[in-house]
Structure 1
């Protein structure tokens, strides 16, 4: 069968290629560039802990060596510390990494993967599709025709795929602008990120009303200054003045020594594509959405797009048309990103609206700080990963369903489980292989070897129920799970979102939930995918 064509060799496209390869699906990545990325220390990304774990599983590289897991976070307003967060097992630290380092790790993994072919200097100019597949043409030194089962546009804000499909991309332009500098220096907060609003030294004008400092390895920091609305020109002289006054203000003395590594202006747009699927062609990442105001991280959402789409494409590639499952990609991911965009648009007038509201509402400054902290740290309405509670794949009317601390459709907690080979692993380590996961909560099993209990109690009946499911599933056992009673059975999707929690072994409910997760019974439809 033909490979999946992926247009764009950024982090989202490379992640999708590796995720498909883990499920035995070949892909061709069309890279319009030369196959390497220019180092830009001022172009960095912040990934939630679970997204960073996904990147490490796919790349096989411990990204903490190239990036920085923050020790803590602090928010200041004028001279007052408004909020401090210390990261630990309960509050995992996000990962801050230069984008070229992340892309380089993914490129290296793709180069070692036999099911991934990267074609450099290949710029897309034509897409044609019919019931049996997709044909794409590229121009350039490697220009040729490519044949694929499906095509995914991961080609950024100016997506050629989106334009060829004539999909509208409405939204807001220049929602926020930031002057950015990457520099090497010593600051009082080792490995701690900070947000400083209304710093007392604001001598370089209104542009210095908010500054963010985020550490990277080897004493490097990325500093962002919020610019006022408009098109203020950021001259080198003005940027150096802001660097010097900010460093002096934070260290409480003369400007400490620093080495300027990179600069830029980061402009945030908010846009959402009207459609994310047209027949056998899909959009993902910045080709489908742009967000990033108030500290939210757009790349994190793009990587979740790839994780959501990969297992659905893999199932359709191996088992034939499954339209409801493929349709659910747009239904789930677009709804989550739309909710985050709405939350940011609603919060912007409050946070950026000046002092009028603060004069009327007591504590509003602290509330604004909480919103910004949520955006920067991937929490709350602005930053937390979305749940697919209203997904078309959600099962209905399960009599044995019980609540646990993870809501249906939300990402599962990474508890320790016993795998079928008797090894102890993290639950996340079993994700991304295309199989459903069935987890039995059985306190006490962790102190015994699997052979002592695998044939006792509920296990034989549950093993038989798992073997009868309409899709391959792996049976795991955990001593506990947040909010789950003993003998609770969890059904988890290949991308790590909880389908349901059942009270004991209920084969009929487990089968119904698994079937719903796959979009219902598979149907072979004439002309499927060419709608």
Structure 2
């Protein structure tokens, strides 16, 4: 049987697997992705992602390509709700909350990507695939994992060509399991999972093609549209400006129909009923049955195998957390794998992946379930009501990661505020770097952009000693470090004192930000012996 050696093997070529491969390729690692499908899935299960995922994706350098496929929250309109689409009358219908606009208002002060919203996997995945291939990575379609065995210095994975049945063995330094909720990899390495399990009824996600221009003309239609017809309850989602749509059929919990009864013809009838146009011409492209579940893997790592995305946890589809969280898994893990493989970090750095991402996943799972139990508070209500129900505000749930691991120096111990995102994003170690607009080289950038993809020291206007020390320590350790003094750097314009206020430092203080945008260390002021201290900090973070 043919054998080969690779640095990182990614099992699963969906959005999370491709994101992991793209982030690795951007750091000089040439990953191999195996996927049993014949190619990219044209059937999006997720149609939107949150701001932390957008920040991660834009760090790949494919900014223009991602911006070209992203919807803008500022252009949103409230969703509609009617018995059928044909019966919807904007003049008499009860007004619906403009959730997308409210989300924009909640987060716009804390992230540079607040306006980016809906974007189906069918739009994201092609950009990720190009990023992987252009970076020297490889994606092998028609290939499935059939066996896995771990050794001290590698993982031997047996794969099989689903078309011809030919087998081979890939020996990988590390494996990323991004093979979904029913992950075979997770089962093979013996990682169990816990949680509530099923939290809702059966749904069928139907991808179809139809010209609905005449139907929606003059109705002020905006996706999504909630249909309440008793025989066609569900949700209609526009996938693009063309003729492709998704209809989420919600099966009655007490109905007699089984999933297998929903043939293409049956789905066609349901959609026509929901549209209110019995003779509507439409083509069913594919169907995807699903149920919302809540699971959390008991471990995110078994020796050299790491779980990511739905293989690590499943989240009910409330609040745009699902795919977002998977992409953030990949973002967190990729720089660590690259650092260890490149000799910049010790193997202990990889322990921080589970230490950071599993608590974050448990937190999000709790938040999602609270929203499932209190949908009125997720879509409305007051901050006081949400706090009483244990529901954090949108900006906090999405942007206020709080990591506590060996890859953070003196992490924040104060609990997160439920309502004040600014108090959480205050420059404390373990939090995401504060967002502040500035001008650099004639371009408008955020501090989040400055600190994406590489260790970055952001000092106050009189913090040049820290900047010099960071550059020196980086050179000595062979670790690229960008160091800037915000307020005095001639290429960077920022209002005096604004960065210091946002970061919780004086003019002589500094933050060290990791490649994934999390604050690794903070010195509020000048400190002592800058060069020695910066060397200690980098060694601590990198397990050197």
TM-score by length of 2: 0.73
Query: What is residue 13 of structure 1 aligned with on the other side?
Result: 17
Task: Tell me the alpha carbon deviations over residues 483-505 of structure 1, each in whole angstroms, 9 at most, x when there is no partner.
Answer: 34662522211001123443344
State whether residues 427 and 511 of structure 2, in contact with CA within 8 Å, keep that contact through their aligned partners in structure 1.
no
What aligned pairs does 1:407-426 form with structure 2 within 5 A after superposition?
Answer: 407-416=428-437, 425-426=445-446
Query: What is residue 456 of structure 2 aligned with on the other side?
Result: 437
State whether residues 387 and 408 of structure 1, in contact with CA within 8 Å, keep that contact through their aligned partners in structure 2.
no
State whether residues 8 and 155 of structure 1, in contact with CA within 8 Å, keep that contact through their aligned partners in structure 2.
yes
State whether residues 395 and 517 of structure 1, in contact with CA within 8 Å, keep that contact through their aligned partners in structure 2.
no
Task: Tell me the alpha carbon deviations over residues 219-269 of structure 1, each in whole angstroms, 9 at most, x when there is no partner.
Answer: 655443544446754746775566456556xxxxx8997856655444222
Query: What is residue 122 of structure 1 aligned with on the other side?
Result: 143
What secondary structure does 1:3 align onto? strand
> C-alpha displacement at 1:19, in angstroms?
1.2
What secondary structure does 1:26 align onto? coil
Query: What is residue 113 of structure 1 aligned with on the other side?
Result: 135
In 2, Cα distance between the equivalents of 1:489 and 1:275? 35
Query: What is residue 348 of structure 1 aligned with on the other side?
Result: 372
In 2, Cα distance between the equivalents of 1:256 and 1:510? 75
In 1, Cα distance between the equivalents of 2:123 and 2:47? 10
What secondary structure does 2:353 align onto? helix
Query: What is residue 408 of structure 2 aligned with on the other side?
Result: 394
> C-alpha displacement at 1:430, in angstroms?
4.5
Query: What is residue 472 of structure 1 aligned with on the other side?
Result: 480
What secondary structure does 1:148 align onto? strand
What secondary structure does 2:483 align onto? strand
Query: What is residue 56 of structure 2 aligned with on the other side?
Result: 54
> C-alpha displacement at 1:313, in angstroms?
0.9
Matched, 1:285 2:288: no
What secondary structure does 2:192 align onto? coil
From the superposition, tell whether residues 135 and 389 of structure 1 become closer, same or farther in structure 2 (CA, over 3 Å). closer
- Give me the CA root mean square deviation: 4.2
Query: What is residue 490 of structure 1 aligned with on the other side?
Result: 511
In structure 2, stretches of 5+ residues that fail to align are 83-92, 387-391, 413-422, 487-493
Task: Tell me the alpha carbon deviations over residues 25-82 of structure 1, each in whole angstroms, 9 at most, x when there is no partner.
Answer: 2222223333x22422x53431123423433443725234334234235367885435
Query: What is residue 394 of structure 2 aligned with on the other side?
Result: 379
In 1, Cα distance between the equivalents of 2:142 and 2:468? 50
From the superposition, tell whether residues 307 and 151 of structure 1 become closer, same or farther in structure 2 (CA, over 3 Å). same
From the superposition, tell whether residues 431 and 125 of structure 1 become closer, same or farther in structure 2 (CA, over 3 Å). farther
Task: Tell me the alpha carbon deviations over residues 282-321 of structure 1, each in whole angstroms, 9 at most, x when there is no partner.
Answer: 1111211111243443111111000000111111112277
> For this pair of structures, how many residues does the alignment match?
475
In 2, Cα distance between the equivalents of 1:392 and 1:229? 47
In 1, Cα distance between the equivalents of 2:247 and 2:199? 19
From the superposition, tell whether residues 94 and 240 of structure 1 become closer, same or farther in structure 2 (CA, over 3 Å). farther
In 2, Cα distance between the equivalents of 1:213 and 1:508? 58
What secondary structure does 2:119 align onto? strand
From the superposition, tell whether residues 145 and 221 of structure 1 become closer, same or farther in structure 2 (CA, over 3 Å). closer
State whether residues 469 and 534 of structure 2, in contact with CA within 8 Å, keep that contact through their aligned partners in structure 1.
no
State whether residues 185 and 221 of structure 1, in contact with CA within 8 Å, keep that contact through their aligned partners in structure 2.
no
> C-alpha displacement at 1:326, in angstroms?
0.8
Aligned to 2:34, which of 3, 13, 30?
A: 30
In structure 1, stretches of 5+ residues that fail to align are 249-253, 352-357, 372-376, 443-456, 524-531
State whether residues 7 and 152 of structure 1, in contact with CA within 8 Å, keep that contact through their aligned partners in structure 2.
yes
In 2, Cα distance between the equivalents of 1:150 and 1:397? 28
Matched, 1:149 2:173: yes
> C-alpha displacement at 1:327, in angstroms?
0.9
